[in-house]
Amino acid sequence: MGGKELIILIRFFFIMDWDFTENIAFKALYDSFKDSDETSALEFLSSDGASYYLELTQDAAGEGLDLDDDEIMEELKEEIIEYLEKN
């Protein structure tokens, strides 16, 4: 396994280890999404949910998530969207 693959693997385990669903900002985001008439989590994150999402990503940075890493941020966003739409 090369260095790049190892870094990707470490990033993956970090995201999987941090349970964003227990985060207070995520809980507020989730409640707001469920209370809205929006059916698309992506649309909600780009409008009414933007401030909640920003707070959540700031909390993630406080937990060690690298906000400058586009792959990590995209993976986190996808997990959040998936959770919002399936729960």
d(CA 29, CA 45): 9
Average pLDDT of the chain is: 83
22-67 residue pLDDT tens: 999 999 999 999 999 899 999 999 999 999 999 999 998 888 777 7
Residue 5 has pLDDT above 70, yes or no: no
Q: Which two tokens stand for residue 55?
A: 């707070």
d(CA 73, CA 36): 24
Please choose, from the candidates 53, 54, 60, the residue with its C-alpha nearest in 3D space to the C-alpha of residue 17.
Answer: 60
**56: amino acid identity, one letter:** L
The domain total for the chain is: 1
Q: Which domain holds residue 33?
A: 3-86
- The DSSP code sequence of 45-57 is HTTTTHHHHHHHH
